[in-house]
């Protein structure tokens, strides 16, 4: 068993994305970040599963190289799931287009995304900065790093349910996660055109009072009212600003 925190970063990727993962790994290593990367970290004639488990357990964060191929990789699912179960922070790095599968969303939904803008090579410096900030961050707000966009927002969380809003290429989507059943159900969806109208009219309402002491309610457009957790957003203006920012991200995420 490796000692605790032997590595700064574990790089997780689908086999099809080996070149991109290797480029990221080499950039991190050149910057002095201790990065674990298969196949370099796997000795010959070793037990592959045990080596991966130990490497993830001994890493401070897991960096997920996300492309459309990621959703088809069972190995990535297992690596991300293990990191989630161990409480290891995950930094998803989107290279190109695509949205995560429901199984991946279950584990990475509460994390910020690093968006590769332009070529991967041109984004490496900003990515290294984002990794360093992630390693340094403990209880600070989301990172204001170039290229790092908030892709989702958890507004309500209990032991059995999570309410999360996602910015996608399709627009804005609200999901309820049933943690007992392991299911995700989409409850709301806004098109980019609807989002723009809501932003222009500032048709977002956040009220810190509800029939539950620990919850407030919020509304986006005319689509009902939803509970939010006041322990996550003690000041309603914070949630209001976060919702606007997420909606602006959804518009920016539209394909060219």
Is 210 found in the same domain as 101? Answer: no
Is 145 found in the same domain as 112? Answer: yes
Total structural domains within the chain:
2
Rounded to an integer, what is the distance from CA 187 to the centroid of its chain? 20
Is 160 found in the same domain as 227? Answer: yes
pTM: 0.55
Q: Which two tokens stand for residue 94?
A: 């989107």
Instruction: Report which DSSP code applies to 138.
Output: S
Neighbouring residues of 134: CB distance < 8 A, sequence distance ≥ 6: 61, 89, 91, 143
Is 130 found in the same domain as 25? Answer: yes
Which of 149, 183, 206 is the C-terminal boundary of a domain?
A: 149
Q: In degrees to the nearest 10, what's the CA dihedral of 133, 137, 141, 142?
A: 40
Compute CA distances 244 → 13, 79, 174, 241, whole Å: 32, 33, 14, 5
Alpha helices per DSSP H over 37-119: 48-57, 74-86, 102-108
How would DSSP label each residue in 143-181?
Answer: P--TTEE--EEEEEE-SSEEEEEEEETTEEEEEEEETTT
pLDDT averaged over 10-residue windows placed end to end, the chain, 256 residues: 69 94 95 88 61 87 93 87 80 86 73 82 90 67 38 77 83 82 82 95 91 90 88 84 88 62
Is 186 found in the same domain as 144? Answer: no
Is 109 found in the same domain as 206? Answer: no
Identify the pLDDT of residue 147: 38
CATH number of domain containing 229: 2.30.29
Is 96 found in the same domain as 185? Answer: no
CATH number of domain containing 17: 3.40.50.10140
Are 150 and 242 in contact, with CB atoms under 8 Å apart?
Answer: yes
Is 15 found in the same domain as 139? Answer: yes
Distance CA 197, CA 208 (A): 24
Distance CA 179, CA 176 (A): 9
Identify the pLDDT of residue 152: 74
Is 185 found in the same domain as 129? Answer: no
Which of 149, 166, 193 is the C-terminal boundary of a domain?
A: 149
Which of 86, 116, 149 is the C-terminal boundary of a domain?
A: 149
Is 99 found in the same domain as 14? Answer: yes
Residue written as tokens 């949630």? 239
Is 219 found in the same domain as 183? Answer: yes
Segments forming the whole domain that contains residue 37: 1-149
Is 138 found in the same domain as 15? Answer: yes
Rounded to an integer, what is the distance from CA 210 to the centroid of its chain? 29
Closest to 244 in 3D by CA, of 179, 186, 167, 160: 167
End-to-end CA distance of the chain: 47
């Amino acid at each position: 068993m490796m000692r605790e925190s032997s590595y700064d970063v574990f790089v997780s990727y689908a086999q099809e994305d080996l070149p991109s993962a290797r480029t990221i790994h080499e950039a991190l290593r050149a910057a002095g970040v201790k990065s674990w990367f298969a196949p370099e970290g796997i000795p010959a004639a070793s037990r592959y599963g045990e080596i991966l488990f130990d490497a993830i357990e001994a890493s401070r964060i897991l960096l997920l190289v996300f492309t459309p191929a990621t959703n088809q990789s069972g190995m990535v699912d297992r690596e991300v799931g293990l990191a989630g179960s161990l409480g290891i922070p995950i930094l998803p790095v989107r290279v190109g287009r695509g949205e995560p599968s429901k199984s991946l969303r279950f584990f990475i939904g509460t994390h910020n995304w690093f968006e590769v803008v332009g070529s991967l090579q041109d984004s490496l410096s900003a990515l290294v900065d984002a990794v360093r900030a992630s390693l340094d961050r403990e209880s600070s707000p989301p990172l204001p790093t170039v290229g790092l966009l908030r892709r989702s927002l958890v507004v309500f969380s209990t032991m059995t349910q999570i309410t999360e809003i996602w910015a996608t290429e399709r627009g804005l989507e609200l999901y309820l996660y049933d943690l007992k059943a392991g299911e995700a159900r989409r409850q709301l969806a806004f098109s980019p055109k609807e989002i723009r109208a809501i932003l222009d009219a500032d048709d977002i309402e956040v009220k810190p009072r509800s029939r539950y002491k620990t919850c407030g309610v919020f509304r986006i457009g005319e689509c009902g009212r939803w509970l939010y957790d006041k322990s996550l957003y003690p000041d309603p203006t914070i949630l209001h600003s976060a919702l606007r920012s997420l909606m602006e991200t959804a518009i920016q995420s539209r394909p060219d």
